[in-house]
Amino acid sequence: MVSHNKIRVHFKSNHADPDSFPPTIEGESVFAITEERFQSAIENYPDLKDKIEPVFDWDLDNFYKSMKTAEVLVCWDLPTENLAKIAPKLRWIHIIGAGVEHLCPMDWVPKNVLVVNNRGVHSAKAGEFGLMSILMLHTHIPEIVHNQQNKHWESLYSSPILGKTLLVIGTGNIGHAAAKKCKLLGMKVIGVSRHGKPLEGVDQMVKVDKLDEVLPLADYIFMSTPNTKETFNLLDKRRQSLMKPGVGIVNVGRAATMDYDALIENLNSGQVKAAIIDVFDPEPLPSSSILWNTPNLMVMPHISADDGDTYIPLTLELVMMNMQRYIAGEKLNNLVNPTLGY
């Protein structure tokens, strides 16, 4: 039950830190929730103007003092130890990312606290990146870039992509958005998910236990899974050996879901034609990493799904919509299952 007093919402933004998020100074302004951005967002929700008392903070500057009375926390990360004691009035936490593996295992979540994530915010940008990356692989862009760097002229021709098969491993908001974009080009799309339920724009859906059967069918593979116990090293060395020779791979999910050492071997041998990778561990990718110099591998600085202009406005839209549901006593959107980690 929500009281008639204002709901105190603590917005925790992070300064750039290579060991945290955002890791680069460029991301600091992109992901910061400021009073200006909050005021702009709440203009679309006049019914909430007199019901929210926001607190805007950086890192842990005023965290412990503020959390004594905060009812809602919006953040990327937080100190989880003794949270029930530190924040006795806390009722829900909004994580400003789709993945929450940095907070797993989630046995720290108090029984009376709900956790939601940012599912849906990434869809538009991720769909466009997925389409772009598959077309880049199909038109030999990684090889062409390599040839340019070596001042080597070679005509690498490609046919239309119509009829090629795309395997999307992880058909959440990001994977599904990419699948629908690629389907518009006439590709055959196979999706892999935990549930295997039919999805618009996907020709065939299978559960994860059928992954070995569909891997050999793919001309291109789009990985977009969170890092959980179920997905850790999902595309391991054995499974990579099942892939069609000359396959192209994109990973925008998490680094831990794929064996990168095996990927390097397969790129060197030609088993994998080319790859576009957007997620690494650690990030930023160290200059000493062999991935920088692996042939036909394009290193993307974790940009596939983050929109510098609308990420926080869309995040605040989710917060405001859930705030309306919370006040009305309705189920919150984007609830995370602490047991599953997503």
> Side chain identity at 292, as an amino acid letter?
W
Whether pLDDT at 3 is above 50: no
Return mean pLDDT, the chain. Answer: 95
Q: Looking at the domain assignment, is residue 312 inside a domain?
A: yes
Instruction: Give this prediction's pTM.
Output: 0.89
- Is the model's pLDDT at 65 over the cut of 90? yes
Pair (228, 170) in one structural domain: yes
pLDDT at 119 over 80: yes
**166 and 42 fall within a common domain:** no
pLDDT for res 258: 98
Contact 68, 88 (CB under 8 A): yes
Looking at the fold, whether 134 and 116 belong to one and the same domain comes out as no
Q: Is the pLDDT of residue 307 over 60?
A: yes
Residue with tokens 């760097």, as numbered in its chain: 149
Q: H or E element: which one contains 297?
A: strand 297-299
Q: Is residue 246 part of a domain?
A: yes
The predicted pLDDT at position 18 comes to 86
Range of the domain at 137: 123-299
Question: Alpha helix locations (H) across 13-168?
Answer: 25-31, 35-42, 63-66, 83-86, 123-138, 141-149
Are 131 and 116 part of one and the same domain? Answer: no
Is the same domain home to 282 and 145?
yes
In this structure, what DSSP letter does residue 285 have? P
Tell me whether residue 1 is in a domain.
no
CB-count exposure of residue 332 (10 Å: 0-12, 13-18, 19+): middle
Do 56 and 38 contact (CB within 8 A), yes or no?
A: yes
Q: Is there a single domain that holds both residue 295 and residue 311?
A: no
Give per-residue pLDDT as tens, 247-257.
999 999 999 99
Tracing tokens 């070679």 back to the chain, one arrives at: 154
Is there a single domain that holds both residue 128 and residue 113?
no
Evaluate whether residue 335 is within a structural domain: no
| CATH number of the domain bearing residue 152 | 3.40.50.720
Whether residues 110 and 132 fall in one domain: no
Q: Is 278 found in the same domain as 150?
A: yes
Residue 339 maps to a domain:
no
Q: With contact defined as beta carbons under 8 Å apart, do 220 and 252 qualify? A: no
Domain count, the chain: 2
Say if 286 falls within a structural domain.
yes
Q: Is the pLDDT of residue 308 over 90?
A: no
Q: Is the pLDDT at 1 greater than 80, yes or no?
A: no
Shared-domain flag, residues 183 and 279: yes
Q: Among the listed ranges 98-107, 126-135, 184-193, 268-277, which one has the minimum average pLDDT value?
A: 98-107
**In a shared domain, residues 129 and 260:** yes
| Average pLDDT estimate for 45-66 | 97
The verdict on residue 334 lying in a domain is: no
The answer as to whether 43 is a domain residue is: yes
19 phi/psi in degrees, rounded to 5: -95, 5
Q: Work out the average pLDDT over 258-264.
A: 98
Q: Which helix (H) or strand (E) holds 206?
A: strand 204-207
Over range 227-236, report the average pLDDT.
Answer: 95
Given this model, what pLDDT does residue 341 score? 83
Please tell me the predicted confidence (pLDDT) of residue 4: 52
Residues 262 and 259: their CA atoms lie apart, in Å, by 5
H or E, element range at 262: helix 260-269
Query: How confident is the model over 95-120, as a mean pLDDT?
Result: 94
79 upstream amide cis, omega within 30 of 0: no
Q: What is the pLDDT of residues 189-230, one digit of tens each?
A: 999 999 999 999 999 999 999 999 999 999 999 999 999 999
CB 12 within 8 A of CB 74: yes
| Buried residues in 252-274 as b, exposed as e (16+ CB within 10 A) | bbbbbbbbbebbbebbeeebbbb
Average of per-residue pLDDT across 267-285: 96
- State whether 111 and 206 are in the same domain: no
